Amino acid sequence: MNHLDEQTETIARWIVGCDHIVAFTGAGISTDSGIPDFRGPDGVWTRRDAGLPPPRWRVPPDRVGPNASHLALAELQRIGKLRFLITQNTDGLHRRSGIRPEILAELHGNGRLMRCLGCDLMHERQEVGWNTFKWGPGYRTQKPMPGQPACPDCGGRLVSNVVNFGDPMPQREMMLAEQHARRCNLMLVLGSSLLVTPAAALVGLALGSGARVVLVNRGETPYDGAATLRVRAGIGEVIPPAVERAKRSLGEHQPKR
């Protein structure tokens, strides 16, 4: 058994033995879906800092879908092990993989959703007829344009659900994320450089509460020395096989939550 197999086996064993698992995901979990990350060797910020144009998407945006790692986390939810999922991603792939909205905190928003400034309800872009080519992304900082769709419930102004730099973090999602970070006994930190706060501080909350923290990321992070298990590999190499091993050990008899 090589080192990566040993680490995968350890993660599987911890999944079996823990009853309050929280996942924390960053851009790295979506690279296998064809979406560029930010701080990887060919990431968006890495190329920008080198004076290079943004990286190309390997898959046309309209064909991007959840990958094996997204689906593995959804499977952990199905067998009653995953109690909460915190993500910094705005791609909406966790929702599309089957993660229930009530156990999901999209801390930086969701690019597929529009939010009403009047009643705070969320709507799919397609549902309200928002044409990005005509009205742009609809960020809060942009001036409203004539003819753009309004909220079908209250008539209020619709803005992108994405949280940009300088925007306030979503209070409810942060509160729930902090609660679960303090209560979990295993946190799976997948594909985040952990440089963006306050989201990254949630890992410190989990560690401070005595949880095991598995950190899977190819690049360095500020929590490398603190993580219980540090895995320098692709997420798809580790998490899907670890979940499958855990399922075999559990015999698929776990209660559904």
Kindly state the average pLDDT of the residues 240-257.
81
As annotated, the binding site for Zn(2+) includes: 116, 119, 151, 154
pLDDT value at residue 73: 98
pLDDT value at residue 41: 55
pLDDT value at residue 47: 44
Kindly state the average pLDDT of the residues 224-237.
97
In whole angstroms, what is the distance from residue 231 CA to residue 14 CA? Answer: 15
What percentage of the chain has pLDDT greater than the value 70? 87
As annotated, the binding site includes: 116, 119, 151, 154
Kindly state the average pLDDT of the residues 215-235.
96
pLDDT value at residue 175: 96
Cis ω for the linkage preceding 198 (within 30 of 0): yes
Residues catalogued as catalytic = 108
pLDDT value at residue 44: 41
In whole angstroms, what is the distance from residue 211 CA to residue 221 CA? Answer: 18
215 within 8 A of 230, measured Cβ to Cβ: yes
pLDDT (tens digit, 9 = 90+) per residue, 73-116? 999 999 999 999 999 999 999 999 999 999 999 999 998 899 99
Per the prediction, the chain carries an average pLDDT of 89
pLDDT (tens digit, 9 = 90+) per residue, 127-153? 999 998 898 888 888 888 889 999 999
In whole angstroms, what is the distance from residue 152 CA to residue 129 CA? Answer: 11
Q: Which residue has the higher pLDDT, 236 or 166?
A: 236
pLDDT value at residue 35: 82
Instruction: Please provide residue 48's backbone torsions phi and psi, each rounded to the nearest 5 degrees.
Output: -60, -45
- pTM for the whole structure: 0.85
pLDDT (tens digit, 9 = 90+) per residue, 13-53? 999 999 999 999 999 999 999 886 655 555 444 445 556 55
Q: 3-110+169-250 maps to which CATH number?
A: 3.40.50.1220
In whole angstroms, what is the distance from residue 30 CA to residue 235 CA? Answer: 9
Domain layout of the chain by residue ranges: 3-110+169-250, 112-161
Residue owning tokens 């909460």: 84
- CA angle 97-22-18, nearest 5°? 115
Strands 229-231 and 212-216: parallel
What percentage of the chain has pLDDT greater than the value 90? 68
Kindly state the average pLDDT of the residues 203-219.
97
